[in-house]
C-alpha cells in the first residue's frame, strides 16, 4: 500500500499541488496546479442511479482527460450529500449526509483518481448524544471536528460540535451554548445553533456560526420563507471557543444566519469573515489586542429585499480578496478586502441560474463553481443553467470560462461541495485516467 509522502518532503519539494484557501491551517498549503476535484453530489430521483456520489473531475490542462469526469462512486441511497473535508494527513476524505446523518469516509491516497469507500459511520447520532445533520468536516491534529445542524429530539437548531479521531472513533460532543444566563460573555445572544467552524491556532481560538434545524433545511424553500414561524427559527449568533479546551468563551450577536467562516492567513491578521444569508451582509469577526472578539457588518451584498441569499465564500491566500456567491441570483462577487473594515465589491459575474459553492486555488488563478444548495431548495428543472460544475481562470480583471460539465445531462445528480487534490501529494505519478469508471 502506498504511503503518504512525509510532510517535510512535501514542503521541501518543488510546487506540486494546490489547495483551496478555506482549508484547515493544520494542513500544509502547497501551491501549483491541482490535478483533481472531488465533488460530493446529491442524488436526484430519475437522474442516473439516483444515489449520492463522489465524482472525480480531471482539472489538469496537461491531461488528455482534462475537463472530464473520470470517476463516479455511488454510496447507496440519498442522504442529502452536503459538505466534506480531508483529514489532516490528507489520506481520507470525510463526507456527510444532512438527512441520514451518515458519514462516508473515502480512501483517496491509494488511487487519487479513483477514490474508494473506506468506511461508513452509521452511529453518529447515538454516539454524539443526539446530534444530527453533520455539516463541516474540519481537520485538527489527528482529529476530525464535525459541526451538527440539528438534534434528534425536536429537529430544531440546537446542536453541537462533535469530535472524532482520524480513524473514525468518537471522542466528544461539545454542545453550543444556549443558556442566556450562562457564565459566558454575550450569553444573552446564545441560541445553540450551529453551522460552520474554523480554527486560528495562533490565538488559541475556534469560531462557529449558525443556521437552522432539520425541520427547515429538509423542507421546500417556499414553505420556509412563506412561514414567519419557520423564518424565526434561524441562528443569529457566532461562538468564540477556546481551541485547546473546547470551551465557549464569547457569544457574538450576528443576526440573519451567519454561514461560512473564512479566516485571514497572515499571522498578524486576527480576523475572519462570514455572510448572513437572510440579511445579505458581509460581517467581520475580529480580535483586538486585548484578546476580545467583536462582530460588525461591514458591507452589503446585493439588494437584501431581493433575497440574493449569500452562501459560500472564499478568501484569497494574500488576504486581499473575498469571493462571495449569492445562490438565488446565480452570481459570484469579488470583494476587495485590503481594508477588512471596509470591503468593496469590485467585480461580479452571473455564473448560472443558481450558484452555491466556490473553490479558489491557492494562487488565486483558478476558481471552480457548483450549483446545488439543498435538494428541496434547488430551483426546478427547466429554468436554465441549473446543475453544473464550472471552471474559470482569473485574468486579473475578469473570470474567463475554461469548461463546464452539466451534471444532470451526465446523469450524475446535483453537484454540491468540492475538494481539490493532486497525485503528487501521495507520491503517485500523474498518468492517463483511462475510461470513466462508474461504481
Assigned domain for 2 exists: no
Given this model, what pLDDT does residue 315 score? 97
Is the pLDDT at 79 greater than 90, yes or no? yes
Q: Looking at residues 189-218, what average pLDDT do you find?
A: 97
Assigned domain for 1 exists: no
% of the chain at pLDDT higher than 70: 92
Given this model, what pLDDT does residue 297 score? 98
Average pLDDT of the chain, as a whole number = 92
Q: Looking at residues 252-267, what average pLDDT do you find?
A: 97
Kindly report the CATH number assigned to the domain that includes residue 161: 2.130.10.10
Range of the domain at 408: 7-438
- How would you write the chain as a 3-class SS string? CCCCCCHHHHHHCCCCCCCECCCCCCCCCCCCCCCEEEEEEECCCCCCCCCCEEEEEECCCCCCCCCCEEEEEECCCCCCEEEEEECCCCCEEEEEECCCCCEEEEECCCCCCCCEEEEEECCHHHHHCCEEEEEEEEEECCEEEEEEEEECCCCCCECEEEEEECCCCEEEEEECCCCCCCCCECHHHCCCECCCEEEEHHHCEEEECCCECHHHHCCCHHHHHCCHHHHCCECCEEEEEECCCCEEEEEEECCCCEEEEEECCCCCCCEEEEEECCCCEEEEEEECCCCCEEEEEEEECCCHHHCCCEEEEEECCCCCEEEEEECCCCEEEEEECCCCCCCEEEEEEECCCCCCCEEEECCCCEEEEECCCCCCCCCCCCCCCCCEEEEEEECCCCEEEEEEEECCCCCCCEEEEEEEECHHHHCCCCCCCCCCEEC
Higher pLDDT, 29 or 113: 113
Q: Looking at residues 39-47, what average pLDDT do you find?
A: 97
Assigned domain for 292 exists: yes
Assigned domain for 419 exists: yes
Number of domains in the chain: 1
Assigned domain for 344 exists: yes
Is the pLDDT at 173 greater than 80, yes or no? yes
Given this model, what pLDDT does residue 380 score? 87
Assigned domain for 413 exists: yes
Given this model, what pLDDT does residue 9 score? 38
Is the pLDDT at 281 greater than 70, yes or no? yes
pTM, two decimals, is 0.94
Q: How confident is the model at residue 27 (pLDDT cuts 50, 70, 90)?
A: confident
Given this model, what pLDDT does residue 31 score? 67
Assigned domain for 22 exists: yes
Given this model, what pLDDT does residue 383 score? 65
Given this model, what pLDDT does residue 436 score? 59
Is the pLDDT at 161 greater than 60, yes or no? yes
Q: How confident is the model at residue 5 (pLDDT cuts 50, 70, 90)?
A: very low
Q: How confident is the model at residue 351 (pLDDT cuts 50, 70, 90)?
A: very high
Amino acid at each position: 500500500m502506498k504511503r503518504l509522502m512525509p510532510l517535510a518532503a512535501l514542503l521541501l519539494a518543488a510546487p506540486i499541488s494546490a489547495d483551496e484557501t478555506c482549508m484547515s491551517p493544520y494542513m500544509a498549503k502547497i501551491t501549483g496546479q491541482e490535478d483533481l476535484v472531488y465533488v460530493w453530489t446529491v442524488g436526484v430521483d430519475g437522474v442516473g442511479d439516483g444515489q449520492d456520489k463522489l465524482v472525480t473531475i480531471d482539472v489538469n490542462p496537461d491531461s488528455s482527460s482534462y475537463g472530464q469526469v473520470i470517476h463516479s462512486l455511488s454510496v447507496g441511497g440519498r442522504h442529502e450529500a452536503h459538505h466534506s473535508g480531508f483529514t489532516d494527513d490528507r489520506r481520507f476524505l470525510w463526507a456527510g449526509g444532512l438527512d441520514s446523518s451518515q458519514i462516508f469516509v473515502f480512501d483517496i491516497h491509494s488511487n487519487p483518481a479513483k477514490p474508494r469507500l473506506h468506511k461508513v459511520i452509521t452511529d453518529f447520532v447515538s454516539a454524539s448524544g443526539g446530534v444530527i445533520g453533520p455539516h463541516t468536516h474540519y481537520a485538527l491534529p489527528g482529529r476530525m471536528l464535525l459541526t451538527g445542524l440539528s438534534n434528534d429530539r425536536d429537529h430544531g437548531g440546537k446542536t453541537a460540535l462533535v469530535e472524532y479521531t482520524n480513524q473514525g472513533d468518537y471522542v466528544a460532543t461539545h454542545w453550543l451554548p444556549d443558556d442566556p444566563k450562562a457564565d459566558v460573555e454575550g450569553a444573552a445572544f446564545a441560541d445553540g445553533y450551529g453551522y460552520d467552524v474554523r480554527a486560528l491556532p495562533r490565538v488559541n481560538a475556534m469560531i462557529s456560526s449558525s443556521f437552522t434545524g432539520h425541520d427547515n433545511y429538509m423542507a421546500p424553500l417556499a414553505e420556509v420563507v412563506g412561514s414567519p414561524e419557520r423564518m424565526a427559527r434561524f441562528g443569529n449568533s457566532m461562538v468564540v471557543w477556546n481551541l485547546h479546551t473546547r470551551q465557549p468563551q464569547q457569544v457574538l450577536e450576528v443576526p440573519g444566519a451567519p454561514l461560512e467562516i473564512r479566516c485571514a492567513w497572515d499571522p498578524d491578521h486576527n480576523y475572519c469573515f462570514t455572510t448572513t444569508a437572510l440579511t445579505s451582509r458581509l460581517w467581520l469577526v475580529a480580535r483586538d489586542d486585548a484578546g476580545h472578539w467583536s462582530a460588525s457588518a461591514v458591507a452589503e451584498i446585493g439588494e437584501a429585499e431581493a433575497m440574493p441569499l449569500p452562501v459560500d465564500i472564499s478568501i484569497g491566500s494574500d488576504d486581499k480578496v473575498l469571493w462571495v456567491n449569492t445562490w438565488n441570483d446565480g452570481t459570484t462577487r469579488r470583494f476587495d478586502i485590503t481594508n477588512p473594515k471596509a470591503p468593496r465589491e469590485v467585480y461580479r459575474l452571473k455564473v448560472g441560474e443558481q450558484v452555491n459553492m466556490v473553490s479558489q486555488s491557492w494562487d488565486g488563478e483558478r476558481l471552480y463553481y457548483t450549483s446545488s444548495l439543498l435538494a428541496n431548495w434547488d430551483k426546478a428543472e427547466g429554468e436554465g443553467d441549473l446543475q453544473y460544475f464550472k471552471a474559470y481562470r482569473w485574468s486579473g480583471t475578469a473570470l474567463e470560462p475554461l469548461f463546464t460539465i452539466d451534471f444532470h445531462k451526465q446523469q450524475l445528480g446535483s453537484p454540491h461541495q468540492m475538494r481539490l487534490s493532486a497525485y503528487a501529494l501521495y507520491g503517485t505519478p500523474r498518468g492517463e485516467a483511462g475510461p470513466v469508471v462508474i461504481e
